[in-house]
Chain A
Amino acid sequence: MTSLYEEVRGDNSEEVPTRVVTVRVNGVSVSAKVEPRLLLAHFIRQGLRLTGTHVGCDSSNCGACTVLLDGQPVKSCSMFAVQADGHEVMTVEGLSSASELHPIQEGFKDEHGLQCGYCTPGMMLTAKALLDENLNPTEDEIRWALSGNLCRCTGYQNIVKAVLWAAEKMRAQAGK
Chain B
Amino acid sequence: MSLDEIKIGGLGASRKRVEDNRFIRGKGNYVDDVVLPGMLHMEILRSPLAHARIKSIDVSAAWQIPGVRLVLTGEMMAARNLAWMPTLSYDTQAVLATDKVRFQGQEVACVIADDPYIAKDGCEAIVVEYEPLPPIVNPMQALAPGAPLIRDDKENQKDNVVFDWQVGDKAATDAAFAKADKVSKIELHYPRSHPSPIEPCGSIADFDRSTSKLTVYMTTQAPHIIRAAVALVAELPEHMIRIISPDLGGGFGNKVPVYPGYVVSILASILLERPVKWIEDKTGNLISTGFGRDVYLKGELALRKDGKILAVRMHTDSDHGAFFSDAQPSKFKIGLMHSAFACYDIPAAHLTARGTYSNKAPGGVAYRCSFRVTEAMFFQERMVQAAADDLGMDQAEFRRVNLVRDDDFPHRTAFGFLTDSGQYAKCLDIGLEAIGYKDFQKQKEEARKRGRLLGIGISTMTEPLGAGNSREYDILGIKMFDSAELRVHMTGKAILRTGARTQGQGHETTWAQIVAHELGLPADDIVVEEGDTDTAPFGMGTYASRSTPVAGAAVAMVSRKIRAKARKIAAHLLEVSEEDVEWELGRFYVRSAPTRGVTIQDCAFAAYTNMPDGLEPGLENVSYYDPPNLTWPFACYIATVEVDPQTGVWDVLKVVAVDDCGVRINPMIVEGQIMGGLTEAYAMASMQFITFDAEGNCVGSNYLDYLLPTAWETPGFELHEVVTPCPHHPIGAKGIGECATVGGPAAFVNAVMDALKDSGVRNIDMPLLPDRVYQALTSKKDVSGAPPVKTDD
Q: Which residues of A contact B (CB under 8 A)?
A: 4-5, 7-10, 12-13, 15, 35, 37-38, 42, 45-46, 49-59, 61-62, 64, 91-93, 95-96, 101, 105, 108-110, 112, 114-121, 124, 142-144, 146-160
Contacts and interface: CB of A to CB of B under 8 A. Distances in A.
22 contacts: A12-B66, A52-B27, A54-B32, A56-B198, A57-B198, A59-B282, A59-B703, A61-B702, A62-B282, A114-B504, A116-B250, A118-B30, A118-B199, A144-B711, A151-B711, A152-B252, A152-B680, A153-B250, A155-B714, A157-B714, A157-B717, A160-B711
Given A9-B67, A118-B197, A118-B199, A51 B282 contact: no
Given A58-B282, A114-B24, A155 B717 contact: yes
Q: Which of B39, B251, B283, B710 neighbours the largest number of chain A CB atoms within 10 Å of its CB?
A: B710
A121 B30 CA distance: 13
Given A8-B114, A116-B197, A153 B711 contact: no
Nearest to B666: A112
A119 to B, nearest CB: 5
B477 interface: no
A115 to B, nearest CB: 3
A92 to B, nearest CB: 3
A7 to B, nearest CB: 7
Among B21, B24, B197, B281, find the residue whose CB has the most chain A CB atoms closer than 10 A.
Answer: B24
Nearest to B33: A51
Contact of A115 (B40, B67, B282, B672): B672
B420 interface: no
B27 A152 contact: no
B623 interface: no
Contacts of A96: 25
B710 A105 contact: no
A12 B66 CA distance: 6
Contacts of B66: 10, 12, 15
A125 to B, nearest CB: 10
Given A92-B26, A109-B17, A121-B26, A153 B504 contact: yes
A152 B708 contact: yes
Contacts of A54: 30, 32, 198-199, 249
Contact of A118 (B20, B40, B198, B678): B198
Contacts of B283: 58
B17 A120 contact: no
A132 B181 CA distance: 66
Given A4-B115, A57-B282, A62-B703, A143 B712 contact: yes
Interface string B23-37: 111111110110101
Determine chain B's interface SS by DSSP, over half rule.
loop
A146 B714 CA distance: 12
A16 to B, nearest CB: 8
A109 B16 contact: yes
Contact of A154 (B32, B282, B675, B708): B675
B250 A152 contact: yes
Interface of B: 16-17, 19-30, 32-33, 35, 37-40, 66-67, 114-117, 196-200, 247-252, 281-283, 503-506, 668-669, 671-672, 675-680, 702-704, 708, 710-712, 714, 716-717
Given A108-B24, A146-B711, A154-B676, 8 more contacts: A50-B26, A61-B704, A105-B24, A117-B28, A118-B249, A152-B197, A152-B250, A158-B672
Nearest to B719: A157
Contact of B26 (A57, A93, A116, A146): A93
A37 B124 CA distance: 16
A139 to B, nearest CB: 8
Contacts of B505: 115
A112 B37 contact: no
Contacts of B677: 155
Nearest to B716: A157
Contacts of B28: 52, 117-118
A5 B116 CA distance: 10
A35 B117 contact: yes
A26 to B, nearest CB: 11
Contacts of A158: 672, 675
Given A117-B249, A118-B250, A109 B21 contact: yes
Given A59-B703, A144-B712, A10 B67 contact: yes
Nearest to A50: B26
A64 B250 CA distance: 13
B675 A157 contact: yes
Count chain B CB atoms within 10 A of each CB in A8, A53, A105, A158 and give the residue with the most. A8
B714 A156 contact: yes
A149 B249 contact: no
B67 A150 contact: no
A112 B672 contact: yes
Contacts of A13: 67
B679 A155 contact: yes
A117 B247 contact: yes
A112 B17 contact: yes
The 6 residue pairs across chains A and B that have the minimum distance between CB atoms: A52-B26, A118-B249, A117-B23, A116-B504, A12-B66, A115-B504
Which residue of A13, A93, A115, A120 has the most chain B CB atoms within 10 A of its CB atom?
A115
A51 B248 contact: no
Contacts of B669: 112
Contacts of A5: 114-115
B16 A57 contact: no
